[in-house]
Amino acid sequence: MKIVVVFTTESRHDLLQLLASRLEHEGDAVSFGEVYLEEMEQQFLQHEGPPPGATIRTDCDGTVWWWRYVNGLWTGFTISDQQRLFRPTVRTINVLAFRVRPPTL
């Protein structure tokens, strides 16, 4: 199985805003954000999908996984698998949002 992790523009913006509100310098927020994104991608690749502790929330918009990456930083993502004839399945993890806490049902 091939794993592809995609961070949407909106999710990157969410992360930067959350980090900027906690750090004194914007450059630090950008630096930490890059480290977080790289580390999250490695976690998704290592587990070939949702890391341990991720939970599914289904609402009117569909199914979104939520994972508490670090204290006070949750990430929302979807998973889709594309079966391909005579080639490995491609699992795409689309990271959609970063929040202080996941949305309530």
Residue with tokens 């004194």: 24
CATH label of the domain that carries residue 48: 3.30.2310.20
pLDDT band (50, 70, 90) for residue 84: confident
pLDDT score recorded for residue 60:
67
For 11, the token pair is: 């999710």
The range of the structural domain enclosing residue 89 comes to 2-99
Share of the chain above pLDDT 90, in %: 59
CA distances, 43 to each of 39, 59, 67 (Å): 6, 25, 11
Which residue is it, tokens 């959609």?
96
Q: Are 84 and 1 in contact (CB under 8 A)?
A: no
In a domain, 104, yes or no: no
pLDDT digits (tens, 9 = 90+) for 13-31: 999 999 888 777 778 888 8
Across the range 84-101, mean pLDDT stands at 91
In a domain, 28, yes or no: yes
Mean pLDDT of the chain: 89
Domain count, the chain: 1
